[in-house]
Structure 1
Amino acid sequence: MSETSINHDEVDIVIGALQLDLTSFMEEWRPVFSQFHLIIVQDPDLKGKLEIPAGFNFDLYTKSDIDGVLGSSSNAISFSGYSCRYFGYLMSQKKYIIAIDDDCIPAKDSTGNFVDAVAQHMTNLSTPATPFFFNTLYDPFCEGADFVRGYPFSLRSGVDCGLSCGLWLNLADLDAPTQALKPELRNNRYVDTVLTVPARTMMPVSGINIGFNRELVGPALLPAFRLAKEGNLRWETVEDIWTGMCVKVVCDHLRLGVKSGLPYVWRKERGNAIESLKKEWEGVKLMEDVVPFFQSLRLSTSAATAEDCVSEIAAAVKVQLAPANPIFARAAENMVELVKLWKRARTQ
């Protein structure tokens, strides 16, 4: 998608700030970010004033803003650490949201050209997805591709794309056990591909580099799942994995698509995998119960919106998962509370 085909007034770029000095990060992204409105959310556990260079159009949210919106929900809902990005989703009024973490800089493609991550996310979101029959030539709406022989013509119009999941060069999004065992492993392969994830197939969604249609799936992209000893570093949390499975179930039910692949960002290193393993291991074990639950989950025909879907998922979590572990009961309660917050934010 060319720059001129993007309606800049429909897009918010959300940045969760986990470091005080954003100067280097913002300058790296200036050619892209300067064209859009930004929502910057400071990690409420980060003390001090953010350093943001001039020349950007942004709204900044801090701990006092978060506490003001949460009100009586502040004891249950947490927007700390990487979860602060979700507060930006809550505050946005735009149709599309692009989120890129502050430890990522623009990548270069296989020919050495700058990758405009926002433009590629918008291409993914504004062209149809094909979740109900897999196209072996990947995304048929990409330049140079089309539907292959045998693809049903009745399915070729596709469906709306609700979520675009970008990837990373350099440090891949590995879990702490894998990164600890393979500390030198890096992702150096730029694969020029986008594909639609098939319906009823779960996937680990990372919040590092994503785009989504807020009007269609926004209520499903809020933080509900917290580990007992959760930290602020990426290896110490699985909240985006839980959220990703929620939004995939929502997309499948509402007949929306999820795309994965381009765009890439270059991800810098942050944290210690071995130290973080002590906190993340609980989440690694819990996923063995969580994945089968989401794989088998089916929502009712009366769930017509993302809010409806999240409420039904919460009810199912309470019945099927909560009896085995109180962490799931808290997640179910948080989901219900977050839907209320979402609805309240829409009416203000």
Structure 2
Amino acid sequence: MNENISSIALKTIALEAAAIDNLQGYINEEFEQCVKLLANCTGRIVITGIGKSAIVAQKIVATLNSTGSPALFMHAADAIHGDLGMIGPQDVVIIISKSGESPEIKVLVPLVKGFGNIIIAIAGKKDSYLAQSADYLLDTTVSQEACPNNLAPTTSTTAQMVMGDTLAVCLMELKGFTAADFAKYHPGGTLGKRLYLKVGDLSRLNAKPKVSLQSSLREVIVEISSKMLGVTAVLDEKQHLAGIITDGDLRRMLEKNEATQHLTAKDIMSTQPKTIQQSELAVNALELMRQNNITQLLVMDGPGYAGIIHLHDLIREGII
């Protein structure tokens, strides 16, 4: 029984993967014209469908909105009962349907055309009413559904989804949509923080431990303990960064030295500390910590010492 379940699952994946692969044959001049049309659209991209295609439409709308292309979802059934008022004169309408023959679609198409809006069809039958009536066709024909009865929309909705993602990514490239732009539309949650939270936003909330080159061992221990970050910066007489002392440095020093009363910070410190500018993204601090297997970095403001960022800061903010 388990082997049969696995074979069904693998067959489903293979069928859907083949459908995606076949989409490459539908990326043609008409597709390029659609992308250019959408990139130059001064209104919104209104996307509609019925049944499972309506759910796909909602996902594509969400992807477009989050990547800098204003989009709006309109359910095909609701459209003919008042929601047509959502469509503006400058909007481009995308209608998604596998068959292109749904009754709601047949009613909707002439109404949209009567408004004068351009229609792009994402359809699975080139000779369908929708495909023949639209101004442009993005073909998502599939040979069969993954459903054993070849009925439930599975492979076809996967193809629709991928075609939508393809449009969105092409539009991002044409518009020069950057990670900074992406952050504007995703300010909340972990994703947003990874895109906009700066090192300085976190380090300024921490204490700023520091000692001089001549500070005694006791002064170093007190500074590290009182600031509770497990580390202190060592500054020279001009307040330039000279080194770093961590809890680990103290332990290693005690293992090597029996006489410690004359030791100073200069004798204990590491002279090549890992640093990061406060203007850097916090996620870059995390990557630097991982690369060097450490839990804190000295934060710099240009050439000046500005504080500490600790792994716990990144965990607290959900960056990890």
What TM-score comes out, normalization by structure 2 length?
Answer: 0.25
Q: Give the structure with higher Rg (CA).
A: 2
What TM-score comes out, normalization by structure 1 length?
Answer: 0.24
Q: Which has the higher contact order (CA 8 A, sep 6+)?
A: 1
